[in-house]
Each structure stands twice: as structure tokens, then as C-alpha cells.
Amino acid sequence: MKRFRNIVFGLIIFIFTIIIFNRVEYSYKTSSYKIIPKKSILAKAIIQKMNYKEDTPVTKYINIKQEKDIDNKKYILFVFGDNKELAGSAEFTKGINNKYKIEWVSHGTSIDGNEIIKTNKGKYILLTYKNLHKKVQYAKVLLNNKEFKVEFPKEEYVITFHKVPDSTQDHYIDINNIKFYTSDNVDITQEFLFEE
């Protein structure tokens, strides 16, 4: 009987230890994932990241124009400035608690991004552009001597992506390896890249 009590007591301690360890591990894994995926809270996180280590704040307000979830990542396009003449993008990573942490913010005078991103499920071509006149239907991207067709939604602010092999080594895509096309398959790369 005493031996049985010792075994039960040992099992209780063992189970209690596992529960405590899992709580500590969960707490550790979620401590930096604090951002709730609500537009106003995401905007606030972007503004804080933009103004971090700045003597004069870059901005106090942004207008989120587009959001796109890709596996455990969230990408955001936004504008800011007195006349909304400045633009930027941001990347967030989703934690196991379904909250986010901000990875990076980039901003300047235009929205034009082309890169290879890595999520928890693979690698993708990520294109972020302002499709002012909504003429672009798709882009052809040459990557490692293979061509990928990336569809563009009929929206002014575009975040679009296409899966690529996990063996892809590139991180950035040279703009010379991207061609933009209309629905009639007309190459409008030069017009698109230099439109006002």
C-alpha cells in the first residue's frame, strides 16, 4: 500500500511538473505576440515601429489600404502624410496565441516591393504595388531560370503572392526579372513602373 501511494504521489508530481512546464513554455512563446489583429491596433503598432528611435515622429497617423494573410504572416500596405503622398508596408508574424508581433516596417514615397518570403508553410513570391489604373492583370516573374505567373487583383493597392519551391535561395527579385501584363497579354512594364 505504501508503495502504491508513493507511485501515485510520484505520478501527481510528474503531471504537475509537466503542466507547469507547458504553461511556462506557452507563456515564453507568446510573450512577444501581443498585437490583436484589429485594424486600429495594427496601425498603432506600425506607427510605434516607424517612430522608434526617431527624435521627431515620422507620423502620428496611417491609413491601412490593404491587408493580406499568408499562412502565419500578415502583410499590410498603408499611406500617410498630409496628402497621403507617402506609403509603406509592414510584416507581422502570428503566434500560437493568435496574436501578432511586428517584424518590420518599410516606408517612403512609393509602394513597390518584390521579394521572396518564408512562412511556416513554405516560400512565396510577394509583390506589393500600387496599381493606380488597375491595368495590370498579372506579372511574370523569372526566378532561377523558371517563370512564375502572379495574378493581380483588380484593386488599387495590391498584395499578391505565388508559391515557389522551398529550395529557392533568392530573397529579393530583380525588377528586371518582372514583366507586367494587361488582360489582353500586352506588356506594360515600363508604363506601369513609371506611372504617376
Tens of pLDDT, residues 151-182: 999 999 999 999 999 998 888 899 999 999 99
- The pLDDT assigned to 180 comes to 95
- The pLDDT assigned to 103 comes to 93
- The pLDDT assigned to 150 comes to 97
- The pLDDT assigned to 84 comes to 77
Query: Which residues of the chain, if any, have pLDDT below 50?
Result: 21, 23-30
- The pLDDT assigned to 70 comes to 97
- The pLDDT assigned to 29 comes to 42
Residue 28 CB contacts under 8 Å (≥ 6 apart), including other chains: none
- The pLDDT assigned to 25 comes to 42
Q: Which helix (H) or strand (E) holds 132?
A: none
What distances in angstroms separate CA 5 from CA 17, 41, 64, one per listed residue?
A: 18, 53, 62
Q: Is the Cβ–Cβ distance between 131 and 75 less than 8 Å?
A: no
* Protein fold of 34-107: Nuclear Transport Factor 2; Chain: A, (3.10.450)
- The pLDDT assigned to 4 comes to 65
Instruction: Give the DSSP letter of residue 54.
Output: -
Tell me the average pLDDT of the chain. 85
